[in-house]
Amino acid sequence: MSPKAQPPGIAFRKHDHRRCQRQLLAEATQLCAERNLRLTSRRRQVLEILLASHQPMGAYDILAKLNRTAPNEQIAPPIVYRALEFLLGEGLIHRIESLNAFISCAHPGHRCGAQFLICRDCDQVAELEVSDNGLLAEAGSLGFAVDHSVVEITGVCAECQKHVG
């Protein structure tokens, strides 16, 4: 039985991140098994790097981390991009467009769009999944076929606001 799904916006809730990390990795592994996909060690490594925190990371930061853990093999950027491509395609991670960075998905495998709250102080990103999106309804009423929708909201999280002033 899979454990209860994470509450929305987990990044900005007090939580045991080690548990959160373990749970998300387990969900991702299970999802790949269900879809008959190979979570190769490279893909898994990239996912684990992203699961380490709720802060998004750019492809080159991920590459640098990989090369630090395996100094004997120089990993080339396309390898990281291919792993990211796979993880994105399966909904295990998301791209934060405004930061040109990647974040692990808090609800692996969901198919509907996500919205992101980005704290400009601690750089953490919380994922929300608000299905009743008035914006998309409006697009639909115009007969517009939406391919992709990005909602990225920048601001300061509650925790960081406490430390101001």
What residues line the site for Zn ion (CB under 5 A)?
17, 20, 105, 114, 119, 121-122, 157, 160
Nearest distance from C-beta of residue 51 to Zn ion, angstroms: 8
- Dist. CA 124–CA 55, nearest whole Å: 4
Q: Which is nearer to Zn ion, 66 or 105 (CB)?
A: 105
> Residue 50 or 63: which CB sits closer to Zn ion?
50
Least Å from the CB of residue 160 to Zn ion = 3
CB of 69 to Zn ion, least distance (A): 21
Distance in angstroms (rounded) separating the CA atoms of residues 46 and 39: 10
**Comparison of 101 and 157: residue with beta carbon closer to Zn ion:** 157
DSSP string for 9-24: TGGGS---HHHHHHHH
Distances (CA, A) of 134 to 54, 112, 115, 128: 27, 14, 13, 15
Beta carbon of residue 142, minimum distance to Zn ion (angstroms, whole number)? 27
Q: Among residues 77 and 155, whose Cβ is nearest to Zn ion?
A: 155
How far is 161 from 164, CA to CA, in rounded Å? 5
Minimum Å gap between C-beta 119 and Zn ion is 3
Do the beta carbons of residue 104 and residue 34 sit within 8 Å?
no
Query: In the beta sheet, which residues pair with residue 104?
Result: 93
Q: Is 79 helix (H, G, I), strand (E, B) or coil?
A: helix
Whether 20 and 26 have beta carbons less than 8 Å apart is answered as no
Residue among 100 and 161 whose Cβ is closer to Zn ion: 161
